[in-house]
Amino acid sequence: MLTDPIADMLTRIRNGGHARLRSVRMPESRIKRELARVLAETGYILGFESDGDAKKPQLSIGIRYDDRAQPIIEGLQRVSKPGCRVYVGVETIPIVRNGLGIAILSTPRGIMTDAQARDARVGGEVLAEVW
């Protein structure tokens, strides 16, 4: 059993990009699927799909590269950890790399980016930063 499945997901994506893999697979959960949805909507990954196995569902994430075969995701950082949760109000939502990156938040209205949270005027737990 993993202590921090979100950190494991981010590490698999980061390592897959460095290894020039087309996609990475991991155990699926609802929060991982939502994180993958946000990453796909913002263009950081190609897409994601579930294999649909009832006993051990797997999530496959397609890694996106630029025209020089460099991964689009330069960095992923887990912010809120199981031992030290980080919550922010709408006024203190972080701006990642002067707006060139995104912060992913878990809010009462679901998982969303920092820009979506500001527009919706909600705060929440900062899960990760991507640039």
Distance CA 33, CA 49 (A): 9
- pLDDT tens across 33-74, in order? 999 999 999 999 999 999 877 789 999 999 999 999 999 999
SS3 content of the chain, % helix, strand, coil (to 5): 30, 35, 35
Query: Which one-letter amino acid corresponds to residue 55?
Result: K
Classify domain 5-63 by CATH number. 3.30.1370.30
- CATH architecture for segment(s) 76-130: 2-Layer Sandwich (3.30)
In terms of phi and psi (left: phi > 0; alpha: psi -120 to 50; beta: otherwise), the region of 9 is alpha
Q: What's this model's pTM, rounded to 2 decimal places?
A: 0.93
Closest CA to 107 of 118, 93, 117, 98: 117
Pinpoint the residues of the chain covered by CATH 3.30.1370.30: 5-63
